[in-house]
Structure 1
């Protein structure tokens, strides 16, 4: 059973297919197995995104988990996921509109049992391998940027590289931006950074009762939504072969 209705997955596939570079793979002796169809791999990725399943769980006679990983790395290197995400964000902004005057940023810890290039010891999971995900959304909760680092990294040092993801919007950024943060960012260093970048801020105060404000949109994303397509690819590769 498809992970998404054909009315949704077919337009997605046509857009994605247009981004795949031509690749004619032939074996010099003519005995190489035929290359697995890009469409099959695409459908597997849709299952990963919708169902949250590991590659081993969705592999079958049509495609192995190893093939999914290899094609994933090939497409990441070609910049396909980043280009597709940019197209999606620009289309959403054109049709509905991104609220970039308000940005909400927060970090969360994600397990990485198989390690990976971005994994580190988790301070809340008995030192097991994990990653820290610094997610930025617009004021309505649409993910617009994500940074992945080791689980032992504090949220605050990831703020600058997370905000640098805004460069994808070029000159479309509003003149005034307000960044909404929780008490983990309540420091002079954070305020100096936001001043340097020309941003206003709303930061919860340490030691006081929970001040949610508009931050619920990023909190919701950490549990029920996912980062953008490009960050999904980077995150899976960074967490190692088991994802």
Structure 2
């Protein structure tokens, strides 16, 4: 078995967040549960290689694909992944690697092969069923929050839920940080109503306007969110949505964001 799927740096941060198991019976305790780290290897293996759950190699991960899927379901329902992301964002801020003075946001369409919740006719894929990832990053491209909607939802309508999804980021003495100073976005977010909403939250909008020639210069700052989408799509499972349950697809998207944050802390991963 290889620990390159779940290195010590990742396991040390996620292990304290896992829910405790119920005590085992003294008589007829049954089969021992699979190791949590082995199950996490199976989840990361699917996330990276995009294989079917039943094709997860037990000789490499230490558990079956069915067990890995069940642990993904259980950890998602227990809210482990958002807490892991919050821990890593706090570490980035403490290390001076998180800059929330500027932030950038965008959306990315993916095809949804099995439909399910949060799918809809994609306007960029001939109305085939699709979903959309909505992402907001800091100045350096560290993902602050990610949400999932149907492929037919407009980007600007998800701006407020995306900002609400940013956790309270600690790591430094004083009040936790939970909103950026400036927000950069493309023409898809051009709406004066949402500019007023951003200003009411103390955020200065830097949004390109429709009908204005290109060359506003906003791309010099906004490109980081496009790069983070490229990082996310290096995890092959996130390029196409195979999960019918929306929470399970989000349960794969959130740990991918955590791994990206960890890479800024530990360049070896």
TM-score, length-scaled by structure 2: 0.75
Contact 2:166 2:178 in 1 (8 A): no
Q: Secondary structure at the match of 1:140?
A: coil
Whether contact under 8 Å (1:3, 1:47) holds in the other structure is no
User: Which residue is equivalent to 2:145?
Assistant: 145
SS in 2 for 1:126: coil
State the distance in 1 between where 2:100 and 2:29 align: 54
Q: Is the 8 A contact 1:133 1:149 kept in 2?
A: yes
CA distance in 2, matches of 1:39, 1:87: 18
For the residues of structure 2 that align with 1:155 and 1:201, how far apart are their CA atoms? Answer: 15
Could you tell me which of 15, 18, 30 is aligned with 1:17? 15
What is the aligned partner in structure 1 of residue 111 from structure 2?
A: 111
2:111·2:131 contact (CA, 8 Å) conserved in 1?
yes
- Where does structure 2 lack aligned partners over 5 or more consecutive residues? 253-269
Higher mean alpha-carbon deviation, 79-88 vs 178-187, is at 79-88
Aligned residues: CA RMSD? 3.1
Q: 1:98 to 1:68 in 2, by over 3 A?
A: same
Report SS of the residue matched to 2:133.
Answer: strand
Q: How does 1:65-84 map to 2 (within 5 A)?
A: 65-84=65-84
8 Å CA contact retained: 1:145, 1:162: yes
Q: How does 1:141-220 map to 2 (within 5 A)?
A: 141-169=141-169, 171-173=175-177, 177-207=181-211, 208-209=213-214, 211=216, 212-220=219-227
Q: 1:139 to 1:23 in 2, by over 3 A?
A: same
- Structure 1 CA distance, aligned partners of 2:179 and 2:27? 61
* Shift, 1:53, TM fit: 4.6
How far apart, in 2, do the equivalents of 1:127 and 1:175 lie? 35
Residue 120 (str. 1) matches residue 120 (str. 2)? yes
What is the count of residue pairs matched by the alignment?
A: 234
Q: Structure 1 residues 182 and 54 mapped into 2: Cα distance closer, same or farther (>3 Å)? A: farther
| Structure 1 contact 119–130 (Cα < 8 Å) conserved | yes
Q: CA 1:94/1:226 → structure 2, altered by over 3 Å: closer, same or farther?
A: farther
| Contact in 2 for aligned 1:112/1:240 (Cα 8 Å) | no
Secondary structure of the equivalent of 1:70? helix
Distance 1:210 1:125, change over 3 A: farther
* Contact map agreement 2:136 2:225 (CA 8 A) in 1: yes
Q: Which digits, 9 at most, give the CA deviation of each residue in 1:79-137, with x for residues without a partner?
A: 22121111111011111331111110101112221223222222222332221111000
Residue range with higher mean Cα deviation, 78-87 or 42-51: 42-51
Aligned-partner Cα distance in 1 for 2:97–2:109: 30
* Contact 2:105/2:225 (8 A) holds in 1: yes
Cα distance in 2, alignment partners of residues 239 and 121 from structure 1? 19
Aligned-partner Cα distance in 1 for 2:50–2:96: 27
Matches within 5 A, 1:88-103: 88-103=88-103
CA distance in 2, matches of 1:107, 1:131: 10
Gap change, CA 1:2 and 1:168, over 3 Å in 2:
same
Distance in 2 (CA, whole Å) between partners of 1:49 and 1:29 is 38
